[in-house]
Amino acid sequence: MKPAAFDYFAPGTVDEALGLLADYGGDAKPLAGGQSLVPTMNFRLAQPAVLVDLNGIEELFFIREEEGGLRCGAMTRQRSVERSALVQRISPLLHEAMPHIAHSQIRNRGTIGGSLAHADPAAELPVLAVALDARMYVRSVTDARWVSARDFYMGLFATAMLPEEMLVEVAFPTLPSGSGWAFDEVARQHGNYAMCGAAAVVGLDGRRVVERARLVFLSVGEGPVEAEQAAALLVGEQPNAEAIRAAAETAATQDIDPVGDIHAGPAFRRHLARVIAERVLTRACERAAGTEGQ
């Protein structure tokens, strides 16, 4: 379990890093927190010829409020996001979900951008990005563009980024008033990859009828999986237990088509999806209505 030989660069600026990616293209891999990349290299499943270590690029480490939303530099440690009062205030869903990501030791090192760009279908952050309508700021030497999270994810470990591009920043918009949110997941052990998980964001109108709903799953497909039929079912409804149960059922049976692995077969995943959907939708609706804990 020793990695194959590679060349190593430690640029000090984003421009330098992008220059290296432009030079080496597909042969290069940016190294963020290394919590996925390094084990993969040790197993020799990944053998990049060049590593571009982003850990010395100070301009990529930040959390700030901008245009009423949250902006995080790609190299911001997950633990910093978890502990940020700003994140808690502007993006409470993100705050609630962070402790579910692996173990604290991993979050100390792991970065928000690293996880978003890695696009692991079992990861929490891509699901949160889609649920929250986050936008990714992607740069190359020649180009810079914002990509919505929905367009960013293209399948198993695949994103809309080209080899010479790099994720430098992510923006999470503030939820409109009347919104409720929730995240939950079920893992066999705390800190392990979840067998299933979901984020829900629900918006109620002045009459307390659901006007917006989004339910996004992890670990049931090749990336973040949106339960669109379930969400559509909920819109226009009073957020009562019956409506939520029906939406959860639809999510589990219509919206997802999970495959099994050694920890959870397809039937159990569907079962968990229904259980979790009901839990997160209930909590999100309660929060939206201001009745949480009542």
Partner 1 sequence: MSTRQFGQPIKRNEDPRLLAGRALFTDDVQLAGMLHVAFLRSDLAHARIRSIDLGGAKERPGVAAVYTADDLGEYWQPGPLLVPPPPVGQLEFHPRTQVPLAKDKVRHAGEAVAVVVAESRYLAEDELDDIFVDYEPLDAVVDLEDALESGTPLVHDDLGHNINARGTQTKGDWAQAEDAADLVIRRRFHYDRGTAAAIENRGIVASWDDKSQQLTIWDTTQAPIAIRNGLAGMLGLSEHQVRVIAPFIGGGFGPKIMMFYPEEVLLAWATLQLGRPLKWIEDREENFYATTQERGQVHDATMALKNDGTVLGIKDVFLHDAGAYAPYGLTLPISSQCTLLGPYVVPEYHSEFTSVFTNKPIVTPYRGAGRQHGVFVMERLLDIAAKELGIDPISIRRKNYIQPDQFPYSNEIIFQDFTQLTYDSGNYEPALDRALELIGYQDFIRENQPRREAVGERVGISVVSYIEGTGIGPYEGARVTVEASGKVSVATGVGTQGQGHYTSFAQVVADQIGVAASDVHVVTGDTDLFYWGAGTFASRGAVVAGNAMHAAATKVRDKILKMAGEKLEAAEEDLELIEGRVQVKGVPQTSISIGELAVEANPMRGAVRPGTEPGLEATEYYGPERGATASGVHAMILRVDPETFLLEIEKYVVVHDCGTVINPLILEGQIQGGVAQGIGNAFYEQLHFDENGALRNASLMDYLLPTAADVPNIVSDHMETPSPLNPLGVKGAGEAGAIPVGALFAQALDNAFRDIGLEVREIPLSPNRLFELVTEASARGNA
Closest CA to 33 of 101, 102, 109, 142: 109
Are 137 and 168 within 8 A, CB to CB? yes
Binding mask 37-76 for partner 1 (x = CB under 8 A): --x---xx--------------------------------
> Which residues pair with residue 194 across a beta bridge?
187
Binder among 144, 156, 241, 267 for partner 1 (CB under 8 A): 267
Our finding on whether 207 is near partner 1 (CB under 8 A) is no
DSSP character at residue 144: E
Instruction: Tell me the two tokens of residue 146.
Output: 């914002």
Binder among 68, 142, 190, 207 for partner 1 (CB under 8 A): 190
Q: Where are the beta strands (DSSP E) in 93-193?
A: 135-139, 144-148, 153-155, 158-159, 166-172, 179-187
Our finding on whether 195 is near partner 1 (CB under 8 A) is yes
| Number of residues near partner 1 (by CB under 8 A) | 25
Binder among 54, 264, 273, 288 for partner 1 (CB under 8 A): 264
Binder among 88, 271, 286, 292 for partner 1 (CB under 8 A): 271
> Which residues pair with residue 136 across a beta bridge?
147, 170
**Shortest distance, CB of residue 133 to partner 1, whole angstroms?**
29
Binder among 22, 38, 243, 275 for partner 1 (CB under 8 A): 275
Closest CA to 202 of 119, 286, 122, 121: 286
Our finding on whether 192 is near partner 1 (CB under 8 A) is yes
**Shortest distance, CB of residue 218 to partner 1, whole angstroms?**
15
Q: Whole-angstrom Cα distance, residue 11 to residue 3?
A: 21
Our finding on whether 263 is near partner 1 (CB under 8 A) is yes
> Which residues pair with residue 215 across a beta bridge?
200
Positions that interact with partner 1 (CB under 8 A): 1-5, 39, 43-44, 186, 188-193, 195, 262-265, 267-268, 271-272, 275
